[in-house]
Structure 1
Amino acid sequence: MDKEQKEKKHSRFSRKKKAALLQKEDITIVDTKVAKKAVVATGMGNAMEWFDFGIYSYLAATIGKIFFPEFTGPTQLVFSFATFAIAFLVRPIGGMFFGMLGDRLGRKKILAITLVMMAFATLCIGLIPSYHSIGITAPILLLVARLIQGFSTGGEYSGAMTFIAESTPDKKRGIMSSGLEVGTLVGYIFGSGIVTLLTFILGSDSMLSWGWRIPFLIAAPIGLIGLYLRNNLEESPAFEAMEKEKENENRHVSMKDILVYHRKPLLVGMILVFFYNIVDYTVLSYMPSHLNAVLNYGETKGLLLILIVMFIMIPIVLIMGYFGDRIGSKRIIQGGLIGLILLSFPSFLMIGSGNNWLVFFGLMILAVFLASFQGTMPSLLPSLFFTDVRYGALAITYNISASIFGGTAPLVIAWFISLTSSNFIPAYYLILSSLIGIGVVTFLVKDPSGKPLRGSAPAVEEKQEIKEILEDPEEALWWTEEKKRIDNKINEQYD
């Protein structure tokens, strides 16, 4: 028997073996209505996170006056933003804690807990007495509330990505997961918009006296609505299927297992989150300050332009998710990275022109490339990990990278501008992160679009899809060999 015949025989044997592993009843038929409900309920938590981000950012100066009156001017603002930034320090801890629990107890339970904690902490900020009333206790309570927010956020976003990815059909995972980032935009728009509206209606004096509390108090009803929606969700099909398989096993995956046996996807995920968060925080968080403080563009005009850009981004994010399902998330992300490498500098030339239309078009170019990541990353990142470690591993990956690179992006850019006096530092930072990203995405990321998640059987929308899948079980169980290698290493360790 020649080499070619042996390879064909081995291939037939491999397909038969995998076909035996994949049965008709293993394939999940996803109810699209239930999946859409999951998107809305999980997107609510993400919207709350960015609602808080928006109101705190827009009220930073007011919060400084309320809680740090002993300081004045820029120093007061620094203390206000430092209290905001402190939440990033505990995000990785919260991610590890809730991530490991999510892989043991289920995604649904943990997502309900993190939402309640976020809503409670945000509500408490609106109830804390001022420094003039209780002295140093006021900023201490503010700090505690921010730490609770950061701790809960650590488990919120990674859990939301995991839950949506596991609750949607494989061929629609991109478009449905992109709904999570729509929540990001809606939350930020709602938060910043309500502060702007209240300031216009009440005036500066009333906002400083009591009006600033209103946006934080709104967190309570939002949290109750979100909790109701999440409590009425079903557990993700992928997690339930995994639990049935593990009924006879006593050993749970440990943190050590994740760090030792899943090193490569952890590192790849951190680099994906690295460039994703740098672009995200630069465009949505840093640009208002760049327009106002660096370019001396009118504050009201700058904030209005950013809000308009975010409104326009909502359908673009969904379109990116849709095409990610059609041509592959990897290609969409590569296109966004190449676009940033080529057009970041021209975009900042337009933004620095002072012409309203050119500033708008410059912002929109950056926003479109950001949308290419927002529409695809929520489906790509969960696909890096197997079901039994997905929540915990993704929480570690996302929160460590987001805390180091995302939360610090505005600070790093502002610092380098102060050192160099160059208004193009943001463009250079975007180009550098994109160059690193394009290499990792091209050579180390396998496109998961339309395929089952690692460790999971296929999830389909229609029954007629099952026959097609059973004809090519090797494609459906593409992750089998990778899983076998990991299990062998773990078994060698525990034998």
Structure 2
Amino acid sequence: MSAETTCATEASGLLRRQDVKTLALSALGGALEFYDFVIFVFLAGAIGQLFFPPETAEWLRTLQTFGLFAAGYLARPLGGIVMAHFGDRHGRKRMFMLSVLLMALPTLVIGLLPTYASIGYAAPLLLLAMRVLQGAAVGGEVPGAWVFVSEHVPPQRVGLACGVLTGGLTAGILLGSLIADVVHGAFGDDAVLHWAWRIPFLVGGVFGVLAVVLRRYLAETPVFRAMRERQALERRLPLSVVLRHHRRAIVMSMLMTWMLTAAIVVVILMLPALMPKLFGITPATALRANTAATLALTLGCVLTGLAVDRFGLRVTLGTGAAGLAATTYLLFAALAAGTSHLTALYALTGLFVGMVATVPVALVRSFPPAVRFSGISFAYNVAYALFGGLTPLAVSFWLRNEAMAPAHYVAILCLLGVAIALSGALPTSGTASLCTDADTGNRPVS
């Protein structure tokens, strides 16, 4: 396709067949990789019994197991920053493929690891090493995927691209939950504890290899190719440029990421475990409702992306954040009253959690193409490691005195999102394309 044809297509805002293929393969690969990262938490009970001494107290075993899970989050900033550096200097596609390979191999190894009964304390240490590698991989995957898809589509369709990709990532959470349920249902608790716990990890390794193969068919982004051809790549250390010249964008990106962690961590990840303790809901009922909410979340991400393209980022963020606060309070009030409509209300709340798809659009628009990968990776991963780790602690501490603490916490962060939308701090444009100067994203190509 000629440059003139490409520019005409971008001006019309139409997706080309290649754009659709890129979105589909990127979202599928993201789902498979995120499955690899989260499947650990769905098998935490078996892992705790198998990888720590049998005489360990139950509370300590649980703490150690989730500490291993948290290690993956703590490794995200380092892995993301390193991969982003090379992504800005040497190409988005290379890092896009490396991140999924770096996820697949540790997942496969976890499925083959000997347990504490075989090799003693070496077992949890090896498991920790694999979790660190997984965290480094997902730290590069999420920002890299947002950059990759947004630089492939016309500027008028960046919302849809980020929404589809984010929906794919959330689908990976749902896939992990479903496969864990299937394994438990098919083999029973005893078999899972003895050998069947390995199946989801081995399947995840195969998924990862499949994702690597799929990504071989993707092309480098037009924006990066244009920068390389014009010799417009950042010659300095990209992260140093971000820290020196884009501090306002970093702060705004971190605040929006904080809002994202509140929505995902509290509403999707924590609530199924809280409902039995706070409201007497059976675990099975809570998990079924959570499945519906996660499905709705995936749909909500796509709808949010479409809304950004149609109504703009400010309107979509403000409306979505207000809607999430309202539906979260509605859900908790209904739970306290003993609702019989749990699944429907949880699904409605999950639909509004999809407003988190506004976050990647804002981040992509906040940094110029030459340092975009590094800027997003630093702001998003550092904020997620900080707030994602502190959110469960803050909510748990608040719950000692207030049963509505999770709803209050989510609402406060939603108000932050509304404030950002009303403040005028959000970038209204800024995604470079083949038809713009890749250095600035706003001057015509001569």
TM-score (norm 1): 0.83
Q: Contact 1:387–1:456 at 8 Å: present in 2 too?
A: no
Q: 1:444 Cα shift? A: 4.0
Q: How big is the shift at 1:72? A: 3.2
SS at match of 1:167: coil
Which residue number corresponds to residue 269 of structure 2?
285
Q: Which runs of 5+ in 2 are unaligned?
A: none
Give the AA of the match of 2:203.
I
Amino acid at match of 2:354: A
Question: Which deviates the most, 38-47 or 111-120?
Answer: 38-47
Specify the SS of the correspondent of 1:197: helix
1:347 aligns with 2:327: no
Q: For 1:263 and 1:25, how far apart are their aligned partners in 2?
A: 37
Q: Return the offset for 1:53.
A: 4.4
Change (3 A) 1:254 1:313: closer
Aligned to 2:355: 372
Amino acid at match of 1:388: A
Pairing partner for 1:276 from 248, 260, 268:
260
Instruction: Report if aligned partners of 2:222, 2:433 keep a CA contact under 8 Å in 1.
Output: no
Alignment partner of 2:387 out of 398, 405, 411: 405
What is the RMSD computed on CA atoms of the aligned residues? 2.4
Gaps of 5+ in 1: 1-22, 460-472, 482-495
Letter in 2 for 1:372: M
Following superposition, the deviation at residue 219 of structure 1 comes to 1.6
Once residues 161 and 442 of structure 1 are traced to their aligned partners in structure 2, the CA distance between those partners, rounded to angstroms, is 24
Structure 2 partner of 1:188: 173
Q: Is contact 2:46-2:193 (8 Å) kept?
A: yes
Specify the code of the residue in structure 1 equivalent to 2:373.
Y
The aligned counterpart of 1:383 is 365
Shift of residue 396, structure 1, vs aligned partner = 0.2
1:414 to 354, 379, 396: 396
For residues 33 and 212 of structure 2, what CA distance do their matches in structure 1 show?
Answer: 14
Indicate whether 1:426 and 2:411 are aligned. no
Give the equivalent residue in structure 2 for 1:239: 224
Determine the C-alpha separation between the residues in 2 that align with 1:288 and 1:43. Answer: 26
1:394 aligns with 2:415: no
Q: TM-score, normalised by structure 2?
A: 0.91
Q: CA deviation at 1:206?
A: 0.2
* Per-residue Cα deviation, 1:232-280 (whole angstroms, up to 9, x for no partner): 2110011111111216x78334322110111111111111111112111
Question: For residue 420 of structure 2, what is the aligned residue in structure 1?
Answer: 440
Q: Is the 8 A contact 1:340 1:434 kept in 2?
A: yes
Letter in 1 for 2:93: K
Query: 1:107 and 2:89 equivalent?
Result: no
- 1:68-100 CA distances to partner (integer Å, 9 max, x unpaired)? 133132221111111100111121111111111
2: CA distance between counterparts of 1:441 and 1:368? 20
> Using a 3 Å threshold, how does the CA distance of structure 1 residues 273 and 60 change in structure 2: closer, same or farther?
same
Contact kept in structure 2, 1:350 and 1:361, CA below 8 Å: no
Indicate how the Cα distance of structure 1 residues 26 and 232 shifts in structure 2: closer, same or farther if over 3 A, else same: closer
Runs (4+) of structure 1 exceeding 3 A deviation are 23-31, 340-344, 444-448, 455-459, 477-481
Q: 1:264 aligns with which of 233, 245, 248?
A: 248
Change (3 A) 1:60 1:276: same
Contact 2:33 2:100 in 1 (8 A): no
Deviates more, 1:408-417 or 1:110-119: 408-417
Q: Which amino acid aligns with 1:258?
A: V
Identity of aligned residues (%): 28
Q: Is the 8 A contact 2:34 2:138 kept in 1?
A: no
Q: CA deviation at 1:147?
A: 0.4
How much has 1:304 moved relative to structure 2? 0.9
Closer/same/farther in 2, CA of residues 28 and 272 from structure 1, 3 Å limit: farther
Structure 1 residues 478, 145: CA separation in 2 closer, same or farther (over 3 Å shift)? closer
Aligned to 1:321: 305
Matched residues in 2 for 1:112 and 1:28: separation?
Answer: 30
Between structure 1 and structure 2, the one with the greater Rg is 1
Aligned pair in 2 of structure 1 residues 411, 41: CA closer, same or farther (>3 Å)? farther
Deviations 1:321-361 (A, max 9, x none): 1122111122111101222344433321113333231x234
Shift in CA distance, 183/25, structure 1 to aligned 2, threshold 3 Å: closer
Tell me the amino acid that sits aligned with residue 113 of structure 1.
L
Other-structure match for 1:11: none
- Counterparts of 1:19-418 in structure 2 under 5 Å? 27=7, 29=9, 32-68=16-52, 69-246=54-231, 251-357=235-341, 359-374=342-357, 376-418=358-400
Distance change in 2, residues 1:424/1:49 (3 Å): farther
How far did residue 24 of structure 1 move?
5.5
Asked if the contact 1:28/1:457 (under 8 Å) is kept, the reply is no
Cα gap change, 1:134/1:442 in structure 2, threshold over 3 Å: closer, same or farther?
same
